[in-house]
């Protein structure tokens, strides 16, 4: 629209607003605001200052465009919304497999990343990833041995990392275990052990991280690794507690998102929490399942539309998306990436 036409539209709207007829028709200021917000977008932008003056401070707040927490240099460089430079991130279960692949993505984007895992030392692939990481990325790939069931230690390690860098920006909670056992044979201890890692461990990792994000008022992103098994039963694999633990994670993400999303007057909040639900990925966990159940690999390959299983690196971009500014209006969501296993 040309400037003259836009100005005319703005004037028309301003006149309409101040006309006595319209004033008597609209019973309250809030009704005026609702009416005004249906106006054409271009005219709305130009007329905003005028309306604000006409309607007073209350409506000024209603009509202002919300400010997005965009990267300050967006537009000067490609994909700056994905830039994590200067940020500090945690990845539980990051010694290998999916967690490690996602950690590497955060480092490539410039993040200082700490993989927290119960293993004494990470797999060889961790050191290979460390070597691949170029210094010019500005990121770091670090390792600390932490069992997510040891809440006190988990909290100490996470607060130590935050205090060292004077910030905390996000978490990928990927630590998880699987147990293949038919339901009637599942003992209480096994069920509790599974939930301790896959549910309580994830919950405690998220709260320990959130406390630091809140302390340092960084805003931030949290990605809980659920699974498509949180919404379907896996054909050929009796794992009732694992699947239930993943369903619980999908529900947990919504609750944390609700509690931590809004930015408060104190400057805290602004933490987005989402789930990532992968389909079948070839990782050490799944290779173990293939040993336990003959023919499982072939069954699973047939069960999605791509006719193959995923590799961990196919989830790198999803992790980066969920932790970066690129997903700034997404929270409480469950991003399912499963080769469309669950679509038919």
Ligand X SMILES: NC(=O)c1ccc[n+]([C@@H]2O[C@H](COP(=O)([O-])OP(=O)(O)OC[C@H]3O[C@@H](n4cnc5c(N)ncnc54)[C@H](O)[C@@H]3O)[C@@H](O)[C@H]2O)c1
Question: Can you say whether residue 139 is alpha, beta or left, with left for phi > 0 and alpha for psi between -120 and 50 degrees?
Answer: beta
Judged by CB under 6 A, which of 175, 206, 210, 336 binds ligand X?
A: 175
**Cβ nearer to ligand X, comparing 176 with 221:** 176
277, two tokens: 């639900």
**Cβ nearer to ligand X, comparing 96 with 272:** 96
Size of the site for ligand X (CB under 6 A): 28
Q: What is the spatial distance between Cα 169 and Cα 287, in angstroms, rounded to a whole number?
A: 33
Q: Is 174 an interacting residue with respect to ligand X (CB under 6 A)?
A: yes
**Nearest distance in Å: CB 85, ligand X:** 26
Q: Is 254 an interacting residue with respect to ligand X (CB under 6 A)?
A: no
Binding pattern to ligand X, positions 223-242, x when CB under 6 A? --x-x---------------
Q: Is 177 an interacting residue with respect to ligand X (CB under 6 A)?
A: yes
**Cβ nearer to ligand X, comparing 97 with 319:** 97
316, two tokens: 């790198």
Q: Is 96 an interacting residue with respect to ligand X (CB under 6 A)?
A: yes
Catalytic residues: 242, 246
**Cβ nearer to ligand X, comparing 92 with 327:** 92
- Return the residues of window 181-210 that contact ligand X according to CB under 6 A: 197, 201
DSSP state of 223: E
295, two tokens: 């023919």
**Cβ nearer to ligand X, comparing 95 with 113:** 95
3-state helix/strand/coil string of 131-199: HHCCHHHCCEEEEEECCCCCHHHHHHHHHHHHHHHCCCCEEEECCCCCCCCCHHHCCHHHHHHHHHHHH
Q: Which of the stretches 22-30, 82-90, 175-183, 233-241 binds ligand X when contact is defined by CB under 6 A?
A: 175-183
Binding pattern to ligand X, positions 24-63, x when CB under 6 A? ----------------------------------------
- Return the residues of window 114-143 that contact ligand X according to CB under 6 A: 117-119
Pairing status of strand 170-173 against strand 140-145: unpaired
Judged by CB under 6 A, which of 93, 220, 319, 339 binds ligand X?
A: 93
Taking CA 281 as the corner, what is the angle to CA 280 and CA 287, rounded to the nearest 5 degrees? 100
**Nearest distance in Å: CB 201, ligand X:** 5
Q: What is the spatial distance between Cα 304 and Cα 134, in angstroms, rounded to a whole number?
A: 36
Helix%, strand%, coil% for the chain, nearest 5: 55, 10, 35
Binding pattern to ligand X, positions 271-310, x when CB under 6 A? -------x-xx-xxxx------------------------
Q: Each residue of 12-34: b (16+ CB within 10 Å) or e?
A: ebbeebeeeeeeeebeeeeebbe
DSSP state of 93: T
**Cβ nearer to ligand X, comparing 11 with 285:** 285
Q: What is the spatial distance between Cα 213 and Cα 46, in angstroms, rounded to a whole number?
A: 38
**Nearest distance in Å: CB 263, ligand X:** 30
Contacting residues toward ligand X, per CB under 6 A = 92-93, 95-99, 117-119, 147-149, 174-177, 197, 201, 225, 227, 278, 280-281, 283-286
């Amino acid at each position: 629209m040309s400037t003259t036409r836009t100005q005319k539209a703005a004037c028309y709207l301003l006149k309409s607003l101040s006309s006595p007829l319209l004033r008597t028709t609209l019973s309250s200021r809030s009704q005026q605001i609702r009416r005004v917000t249906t106006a054409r977008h271009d005219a709305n932008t130009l007329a905003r200052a005028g309306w604000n003056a006409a309607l007073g401070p209350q409506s000024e707040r209603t009509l202002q465009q919300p400010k997005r927490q965009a990267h300050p240099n967006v537009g000067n460089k490609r994909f700056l919304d994905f830039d994590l430079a200067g940020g500090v991130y945690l990845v539980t279960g990051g010694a290998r497999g999916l967690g490690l692949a996602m950690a590497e993505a955060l480092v490539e984007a410039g993040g200082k990343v700490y993989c927290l895992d119960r293993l004494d030392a990470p797999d060889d692939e961790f050191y290979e990833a460390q070597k691949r990481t170029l210094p010019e990325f500005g990121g770091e790939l670090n390792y600390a041995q932490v069992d997510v069931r040891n809440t006190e230690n988990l909290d100490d390690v996470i607060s130590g990392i935050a205090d060292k860098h004077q910030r905390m920006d996000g978490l990928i909670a990927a630590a998880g275990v699987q147990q293949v056992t038919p339901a009637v044979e599942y003992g209480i201890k096994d069920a509790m052990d599974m939930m301790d890692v896959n549910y309580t461990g994830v919950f405690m990792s998220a709260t320990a991280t959130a406390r630091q994000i809140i302390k340092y008022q960084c805003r931030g992103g949290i990605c809980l690794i659920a699974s498509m098994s949180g919404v379907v039963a896996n054909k050929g694999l009796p794992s009732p507690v694992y699947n239930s633990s993943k369903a619980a994670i999908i529900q947990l993400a919504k609750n944390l998102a609700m509690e931590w999303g809004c930015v408060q007057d104190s400057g805290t909040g602004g933490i987005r929490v989402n789930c990532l639900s992968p389909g079948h990925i070839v990782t050490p966990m799944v290779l173990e399942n293939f040993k336990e159940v003959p023919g499982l690999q072939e069954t699973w390959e047939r069960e999605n539309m791509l006719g193959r299983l995923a590799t961990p690196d196919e989830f790198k971009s999803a992790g980066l998306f969920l932790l970066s500014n690129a997903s700034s209006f997404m929270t409480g969501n469950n991003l399912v990436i499963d080769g469309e296993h669950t679509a038919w």
